[in-house]
Amino acid sequence: MKKVVKFGGSSLASAEQFKKVGDIIRAEESRRYVVPSAPGKRFSDDTKVTDMLYKCYGAAIKEKKFIDQLEAIKARYNEIIDGLGLDLSLDAEFDVIRENFGKKIGRDYAASRGEFLNGIIMAKYLGYEFIDAAEVILFDEEGHFDGDKTNEVLSKRLETVERAVIPGFYGAMPDGTIKTFSRGGSDLTGSIVAKAAQVDMYENWTDVSGFLIADPRIIANPKSIEAITYKELRELSYMGATVLHEDAIFPIRKEGIPINIKNTNAPSDKGTLIVEATCRHPKYTITGIAGKQGFASITIEKAMMNSEIGFCRKVLQVFEDNGISIEHMPSGIDTMTVLVHQSEFEEKEQKVLAGIHQAVQPDSIELESDLALIAIVGRGMRSKRGTSGRIFSALAHAHVNVKMIDQGSSELNVVVGVRNHDFENAIRALYDIFVTTRI
């Protein structure tokens, strides 16, 4: 059995955390490829190394003194090295970084050094081979990730390497220029390595024991999710659940490689298993609840609009022409409602309204702001009768007025719209009826 293990910044913030990670890796022979992030916060008021690098490079490009800031970053790494008792010096690497910062080599290069340096330490600590991600994670000349070429190069490299550390977050363009992923970079690197190495499992280690059914900032000690499908994860991630960035799923989804979200500080916890499909029956009818605030709705009403060919397309064209993305679009016989991010819409609202009038000559247009969307997601909803009734009963008992309802044809999720001020109350009511009381 082979595994790729990725560790987040909080898991590698200090020597103490490194030791936990080392114990985890050594506990199983199968954990052969390691993808580290840059050191995160050691305590709540601490600064992540990546942020320190951004600030240091920002001073360099403004022709300000940056050496003291770079020395502070070096001190963070030396603290880890000394705490692990390693015979290792990063002086040569920091000399190169200082020179390149002086040359203003690039913001991506600056940010990537956090993972690069942590990878060197991790490889030394474990006795694994260090593979610079710039050699095997490849972008094209336009700066887009080249998945096919990366898989070819990385697969060939790993064929001859039994155990390796590959830093997350960055790669290189054809001319050698360092390029970082925009979001969820280390998660994505882990997924890329898992695909190339054809492993049996991708373990993503962080500071929580997997996905939680609801936001712990709203629900006290919410239950964790034992198993979740890619489709369910996609729905929850889109609505704000952020333990793992959804882009990290795609490189391995076609390969059928499961992902296990685990807790570095509680390694015996099962965590959450992410799979293509599963016969496991979920413990609760729902898998999770997630939501976002700050939406606006535009309701267009016109008699006999359903018989007017191209009506919806014309309306949506107006939003596209104004660069506004659509979140949901529930409709009736003579009405069509478009939900958008309020912050995007407000600046262009009058232009959009005028465009809709010109495009379809509606009888009326009604706007509503300060809305929140909540997704109730779960494969178990397909086989349970009365799920929608329980949703609306719970919201009614909580005195929450439902402004919008949208259910996907897959029966995997139900999205409800409520007022922003009802957002947290609604989530508590839904969690209570499906998880706490399980009525």
Domains of the chain by start residue, with CATH:
3-275 (3.40.1160.10), 288-436 (3.30.2130.10)
In this predicted structure, what is the pLDDT of residue 439?
Answer: 59
Among residues 411, 218, 406, the alpha carbon closest in space to that of 297 is found at 406
**pLDDT score recorded for residue 9:** 94
What is residue 410's predicted lDDT score, i.e. its pLDDT?
A: 67
Regarding predicted confidence, which is higher, 18 or 385? 18
Q: What order of strands is seen across the sheet that includes strand 129-130?
A: 129-130, 164-165, 31-36, 3-7, 201-206, 259-263, 272-275, 227-229
Q: Describe the crossing of helices 67-84 and 15-26 by its angle, rounded to 10 degrees.
A: 50
Range in 89-98, 233-242, 341-350, 354-363 the model is least confident about? 233-242
Is the model's pLDDT at 243 over the cut of 80? no
- What is the pLDDT at residue 242? 67
CB 353 within 8 A of CB 300: no
Flag whether pLDDT at 84 surpasses 90. Answer: yes
CA R_g for the chain: 25
Residue 393 has pLDDT above 80, yes or no: yes
Tokens of residue 178, six digits: 């360092």
The full length of the chain comes to 439
| Number of helical (H) and strand (E) elements in the chain, helices listed first | 15, 15
Q: Percent of the chain, pLDDT > 90?
A: 81
Cα separations in angstroms, 361 against 28, 321, 353, 355: 66, 18, 11, 10
pLDDT at 358: 96
Q: Which residue has the higher pLDDT, 253 or 134?
A: 134
- Apex 243 CA angle, 241 and 244, nearest 5: 100
**Do 400 and 433 touch, CB atoms closer than 8 A?**
no
